[in-house]
Structure 1
Amino acid sequence: MRTVPIPLVFLPGTFSVWDWLEMVDSIQILPEEDLPALHNAANAASLRAGKSYLFLFGSVLILTMIGAFLSAVSVTTSENKSLKALLTGIAFFVGFILTSTLRAKKHEREWYGGRAIAESVKTLTWRFMCRAEPYSGELAPKAVDEAFLSSLNDILSQRKSLFAALNGELGNGPQITNRMREVRSWDTEHRREFYVNARIENQRGWYSDKAKANRRKEDIWFAVIMIAQVGAAVSALLLVYSPDSRLNLTGSFSMIATAALAWLQVKRHQELAQSYNVTAQELGLIAAKAGHIAKDDQLSAFVADAENAISREHTLWIARRDNP
């Protein structure tokens, strides 16, 4: 959830700015405590697993580079040779342990599985609050609650392997919060304005920022790869003129380039930049239609379009992780 203030979008012919003064805090952010407990538990599990996976993966790459660098260093005395061999062995052995942990813990599966649950629950939550299908305003309150809880149960049953990873403490809260019921009770105009600002504009800003950030990171890592490749080439050429040199960094630079390429692959900056930018633009086109919404059935269709656009990006993200 984006937590910085977002710009308010007022549509022509709607209520005045003064009507918003009592709702400003709600528009700028929808706190996690106002979302279902299942979302919060899955989100926490996903963040925890993602950090663990990237830490272990990055540590393995760093230790491998350290081992490669030590192997490239030439020493003369027997003591230094023993120390070099010891440090090299430690680097590769610790790397082996971390690789085994990475394989056994399956943090990546918990990472994207948790996100899939959290984002699916969030989509259903917005549909519930806006009285969008399948939680229309024509249904009785009890029927709506039962339908929503049934949907949450269906989502959870599809990811049974994540039961152990879900944070029990965060999962103790309500699945239908008071804030969700409050927003659902508003009239069509208030729900429309709230959705445009707190959901669409919020997500547009998030996707736009992330697209830019991923483009910058892609440029940085490609620069690292190219610099390392040049370093390897220069090191190899120096050996032509000094074949007896004790320092051969060709392998080390090659390892740096390979590690940077592997990191770029796991982070997928280029693909994310493209998909995030497309989603931001698509949400902008959908938001432009908001001014024509005056009835609940129109709002329901509008919310469905926006949530489908957001869900497509999440589905692609999961597919990229399932098929690296």
Structure 2
Amino acid sequence: MNVGLEFPALYISADEASASAQRAFLWTIRVEYFLLFSVSALSSTRDMSGLNPLALTLLLVFLAGLFVLKVYRKLDQDWYRSRALAESVKTSTWRFVMRAHPFQDAASVEQPRAEFRDLLRDILRANQHLSRNLYHSDADQVTASMMDIRGLTLSERKDYYVRNRIDEQRHWYSRKSKENRRAFRAWVVVTIAVYIVAAISINAEQLGLGYAMLAFDPLIVVVTSIIGWIQIKRHSELTASYNLTAHEIGIIRSNADYVKSEDDFSDFVNEAELAFSREHTQWVARRDAS
């Protein structure tokens, strides 16, 4: 069965809102770091360039305004919570199409379909604070592909779930763990390199490098910015978290061989979806705590 699962409109909207808030937040951070570096560089060379202090003052005022915007808009929280909303809808969708609890078979398919719509309504009401970030989507809340997949036999649904949910998520977490490990190591190397250059810069006069010592303050800003970026991205923490989740999914996958009935499959799906939900819940909690 090669039917592609089309998710509800609420998922599409929350997914787009999360991606948009993430881009806005990270670009705000990048601009902030760039302006801090610019202020430091211009201040260090002010005596040589004859720069008007008003230019530095305006940059500092702009930085203050950027800080206020970041605090007021809370783009980071919009990112985390929109992502959590999207994942909540996603895991509920998989439960529905796989006929897992609480969307098992009933006398009429309209009953679990109505229960799914009611669940989406409850999820949306619980996240009303995100309403200004959600985009309108023309997609249905219960799509045709959802109903097509739900209509498959037990064996077909099990194969579809293992291939398109379990294996896909396992691959995703494994790949992200490796990417974060590489990124963390790269930033560590860059940080050490900048520290070394800064150490050379502070001793530039003794080394006969003249104006190279003017680079010391901007380099310290660069190091501080890199450390701040590492803390924001949390590469090391995500490496461990994603790696652990990938292994947990691998263990859960092995249980597919023991699925013999609809009840077995419902328990299997819910165990897997709880693992996915737990990781996202912990991720949002860690982000909010920071």
TM-score over 0.5 for the pair: yes
Report matched runs for 1:171-320 at 5 Å.
172-239=138-205, 247-320=213-286
Structure 2: unaligned runs, 5 residues or longer:
none
Q: Distance in 2 between matches of 1:317 and 1:311?
A: 10
Structure 1 residues 215, 189: closer, same or farther in 2, change over 3 A? Answer: same
User: What is the deviation of 1:152?
Assistant: 1.0
| Corresponding position: 1:322 with 2:288 | yes
Amino acid paired to 2:140? P
2:69 is matched with 101
Q: How many residue pairs are counted as aligned between the two chains?
A: 290
1:10 is matched with none
User: Conserved in 2, the CA contact under 8 Å of 1:208 and 1:276?
Assistant: yes
User: What is the deviation of 1:277?
Assistant: 0.9
2:36 is matched with 64
Amino acid paired to 1:44? E
Bigger share in helix: 2
Deviations 1:84-123 (A, max 9, x none): x455344433333322222222211211111111100000
User: What is the deviation of 1:299?
Assistant: 0.5
Moved more, 255-264 or 234-243: 234-243
User: What is the deviation of 1:242?
Assistant: 6.4
Structure 1 residues 245, 74: closer, same or farther in 2, change over 3 A? Answer: farther
Superposition TM-score, scaled by structure 1 size = 0.84
Q: Distance in 2 between matches of 1:116 and 1:187?
A: 31
Structure 1 residues 228, 91: closer, same or farther in 2, change over 3 A? Answer: farther
User: Conserved in 2, the CA contact under 8 Å of 1:73 and 1:247?
Assistant: no
Match of 1:116 among 81, 84, 94: 84
| Corresponding position: 1:35 with 2:35 | no
Moved more, 238-247 or 256-265: 238-247
For residue 61 of structure 1, give the secondary structure of its aligned residue in structure 2.
helix
Taking only aligned residues, the RMSD between alpha carbons, in angstroms, comes to 1.9
Q: Distance in 2 between matches of 1:110 and 1:316?
A: 16
Q: Distance in 2 between matches of 1:165 and 1:181?
A: 29
User: What is the deviation of 1:153?
Assistant: 1.6
User: What is the deviation of 1:312?
Assistant: 1.1
| Corresponding position: 1:157 with 2:129 | no
Structure 1: unaligned runs, 5 residues or longer:
1-22
Deviations 1:199-228 (A, max 9, x none): 011111111111111111111111222112
Amino acid paired to 2:235? H
Amino acid paired to 1:164? R
Structure 1 residues 243, 173: closer, same or farther in 2, change over 3 A? Answer: closer
| Corresponding position: 1:81 with 2:50 | yes
| Corresponding position: 1:135 with 2:103 | yes
Amino acid paired to 1:175? Q
User: What is the deviation of 1:148?
Assistant: 0.9
1:14 is matched with none
1:144 is matched with 112
Q: Distance in 2 between matches of 1:152 and 1:139?
A: 22
Q: Distance in 2 between matches of 1:251 and 1:160?
A: 45
For residue 77 of structure 2, give the secondary structure of its aligned residue in structure 1.
helix
User: What is the deviation of 1:82?
Assistant: 2.7
Q: Distance in 2 between matches of 1:241 and 1:136?
A: 76
| Corresponding position: 1:51 with 2:20 | no
Moved more, 259-268 or 217-226: 217-226
